[in-house]
Structure 1
Amino acid sequence: MTGGSGVVVIDNGGGLLKAGFGGDQEPIAVVPNCMAKPPGGNTKKWLVADQLQADDVDVTGMTLKRPIDRGYLINTEVQREVWERVVRNLLKVDPNNSSLLLVEPMFNPPALQHATDELVFEEFGFKSLCVADAPSLVHLYEASRQPTLFRAQCSLVVDCGFSFTHASPVLQNFTLNYGVRRMDLGGKALTNYLKELVSYRSLNVMDETLLIDDAKEKLCFVSLDVPGDLRLARLSFKDNPFRCSYILPDGITYKKGFVKDMDDALRYCSLPLNEESDRKDHGLETNKFEDRKKPELSQNEFVLTNERFLVPEMLFHPIDLGINQAGLAECIVRAVQACHPYLQPVLFESIILTGGSTLFPRFAERLERELRPLVPDDYQPNSWCLERWIHFGLQP
């Protein structure tokens, strides 16, 4: 059976693979782009893509094989297994009767392009292949929904992906390669940083990539006032508005990790943003450090407090963590300034956000605040088009 359009669409991300049919509003499959094997010897079978999402699968301590490293396809054997599972089992299509639209990473080397072509035509036998980069597709999709963007014919696509973060100017559906600027930080680096913080403060989770990924996506958020939130995070565990527990699977009662109390996890949403007086009015005195006794934790849970906003902070101020790179706002400004002066006002006012890391709460607000001092006063903040988009229109 083949989809109605006969066009298979695959967004082959380093962390998640999104697949569906051309013309559909949402993808049919959003699965981990990897293979994994449970611990316990060589008899265990490798699980692929959606098999890792099954309710009865415990992902604790799994060994991972990813086809994509640092943004590029380096293991075609693993990729073939993942595509086989997605194309044959989830999409249920015959590649011989289908065309493929494939999202390719920016500046993909010719040797890797050739390896991808072999996989598409020789291994799967697709009728035809159309390769597109993510920024041009994002612009095309958003322009179809935003009349202002459609008339402007250009935008700046900020893609915070698994391996990299790119700021890419797009003009008339073509990415201006000379203006693209890259940060060597993405979702993978954030997950690794969270693993280090939890392992240092609570328990060793360095081998729990999938579980820490889940904890990051459910619990992390972007701070609009880092110094103030750091002071709040020093409160007692009882009064700390950021404190929450994540329960690891025990392999018997439950096989998936989960947040112990989601109401606790969302307490930060009701906090005033900046005013110190407002925080005091809400009973959040920043000089209150008594009663620091930590709650007793079981062997299969850990508590997060300031880690929840320090992890996404890497994207905005990596230098504070010893990473010698410019932050996201400066990366955007450099990308815009590399373009013709006539395009710069429109690019600053037409910023489109895409990628999993842009789904952190308050991401767009924080980016706007970071950009304001770096952007000419002629461009008003309330005119910026900060939108969120996931391929195929998948909603957060």
Structure 2
Amino acid sequence: MSSVVVLDNGGGLCKAGFAGDRDPTAVVPNCLGRSGASKRWLVADQLLAPDSDVTSVSIRRPLDRGYLVNPDLQREVWDRILRSLLRADPAHSSLLLVEPLFNPPSVQRATDELIFEDFGFQSLCVADSPSLIHLYEASRRPCLSQYCCSLVVDCGFSFIHAAPVLHNFTLNYGVRRLDLGGKALTNYLKELVSYRSVNVMDETLIIDHAKEQLCFVSLDVARDLELARKSGEDNPFRCTYVLPDGVTHTKGYVKDMEEARRYLSLPSQSTINQSVANEELDCQENAKRPEARRQIDLTKNEFSLTNERFLVPEMIFHPSDLGMNQAGLAECIVRAVQSCHPQLHPQLFESIILTGGSTLFPQFRERLERELRPLVRDDYKVKIATQEDPILGVWRGGSLLASSPDFESMCITKLEYEEIGSARSRRRFFH
């Protein structure tokens, strides 16, 4: 077994495993949770157990807005991952840690104390997600290694970064950030559902699951809003999410996935009246096949979603609609490219890589391309690539780097840390 532990310490999920492996050993929530009916705090993977009650769970996260704010909580999560899930011995292991961009020095010191003093790792290498994404994708796609550069769009839990990467180094001066991410989208959906149907403000994990299952990116917001308004009860976007009742099921679920996917069959070029007519036919067909739906009578234990399904991800493209004084994702990408040398512009627009959990929303790439194309010069190509697994892409890049022959020379050792301190030893990482 490899003696190098690779840890992608995200704000939402913590991915951990060993160098050289294709997939991490553990992908768990980076938090602690406790239900109202219990006094016991569940750590990381314990929240994913089939018998765990996720109703009204109080959540405590070690990271806030992407940065470490509670080292004690982080110690608990890492201890659970290292000792119970990975069964690794830090005293005989090196660590590759993925940190957020622009990590403040005070946070770096707290992190180093955890790694060297609390856990006693032999050595440490720190990397950022854009450079690891570029490294991993360049190993899979020869055309990317030919350019030596890419623009990594990381839609994470806490925020979104558009980061230019050149020769496996992130160009920090070119990075542009949106101060919203998966957490903000979940909170927005909680507010919408609580206002329109049932109070779910305390159901973070459940609404997070509903968002992942049901939300999608609209390719024509005006059309979809009009269609949702005119079609009434036969709304093609309407679907039902069933909340856990704590007796027959402890997790939430989508009542009818076929119903939830009806929007995918909407024709892109047609009148709204025709679309509504088609949906009425679909509803008549479903009425003839009642066995296709789960017949569960749970009064006030379920809620319906309609236009919320595409209005929530719309925040990414137009945050100003919610009063945020920020540009949308397409403009953020253009600004990141324009901050680089003009010779890099065509290559960067032609090698955009999407990563992060929010890029999993259906039709995300197509919508971004539609938004981006009018903002880019006509003689430049726009090519947007998606990763096979956007959640694991950063970790896989870390696994690749940690298994390279030069990895040991990139690390700072525990002895160096003890002799010269955190700030001086970290200069090796160009942060």
* TM-score bracket relative to the smaller structure: over 0.9
Segment drifting more, 18-27 vs 164-173: 18-27
1:15-30 to 2 correspondences below 5 Å? 15-30=12-27
Structure 2 stretches lacking a partner, 5+ long = 281-296, 397-431
Per-residue deviation, 1:141: 0.4
Cα drift, residue 125 of structure 1: 1.1
CA contact (8 A) 2:267 2:275 kept: no
Q: Which has the higher helix share?
A: 2
1:346 alignment partner, SS class: helix
Q: d(CA) in 2 for partners of 1:237 and 1:281?
A: 13
Match of 2:418 in 1: none
Identity of aligned residues (%): 70
Query: What CA distance in whole angstroms lies between the structure 2 residues aligned with 1:167 and 1:223?
Result: 21
| CA–CA distance in structure 1, aligned partners of residues 391 and 134 of structure 2 | 12
Offset at residue 276 of structure 1 (A): 2.8
Of 257, 262, 268 in structure 2, the residue corresponding to residue 267 of structure 1 is 262
User: Which of these residues, 1, 6, 9, is aligned with residue 9 of structure 1?
Assistant: 6
1:100-153 Cα deviation digits (max 9, x unpaired) = 111000000111001000101111111111100000000000000010001100
Relative to the length of structure 2, the TM-score reads: 0.85
* 2:135 equivalent to 1:140: yes
Q: Structure 1: state its 5+ residue gaps.
A: 287-295
Contact 1:237/1:243 (8 A) holds in 2:
no
The 5 Å alignment of 1:362-377 reads 362-377=363-378
Q: Residues 81 and 280 from structure 1, CA distance in 2 versus in 1: closer, same or farther, beyond 3 angstroms? A: same
C-alpha deviation, 1:31, in angstroms: 0.7
The Cα offsets for residues 6-45 of structure 1, whole Å up to 9 and x where unpaired, read as 11111100011111111111111111100011114xx611
- Between the aligned partners of 1:308 and 1:392, the Cα distance in structure 2 is 26
Rounded Cα–Cα distance in structure 1 between residues aligned with 2:275 and 2:362: 24
Q: Which residue number corresponds to residue 34 of structure 1?
A: 31
| 1:242 counterpart residue number | 237
Which residue matches 1:357? 358
Partner of 1:83: 78
SS at match of 2:82: helix
> What is the DSSP-based 3-state SS (H/G/I as helix, E as strand, rest coil) of the residue aligned with 2:112?
helix
Give the C-alpha shift of residue 297 in structure 1.
7.0
Once the two structures are superposed, the pairs formed by residues 1-396 of structure 1 within 5 Å of their partners are 4-40=1-37, 44-236=39-231, 238-273=233-268, 275-277=269-271, 280=274, 283-284=277-278, 298-381=299-382, 384-388=383-387, 389-392=390-393
| Number of equivalences | 379
Question: How far is 1:237 from its partner?
Answer: 5.2
Query: SS where residue 308 of structure 1 aligns?
Result: helix
Counterpart-to-counterpart distance in 2, 1:258 and 1:337: 44
Q: Secondary structure of 2:234's match? A: coil
- SS for the counterpart of 1:386 is strand
Opposite residue 9 of structure 1, the aligned amino acid is V
TM-score, with structure 1 as normaliser: 0.92
CA–CA distance in structure 2, aligned partners of residues 168 and 52 of structure 1: 33
Structure number with higher relative contact order (C-alpha < 8 Å, ≥ 6 residues apart): 2
Contact 1:27 1:392 in 2 (8 A): no
Q: Cα offset for 1:261? A: 0.7
Task: Report the alpha carbon displacement of residue 277 of structure 1 after superposing the two structures with TM.
Answer: 3.5
CA contact (8 A) 1:99 1:126 kept: yes
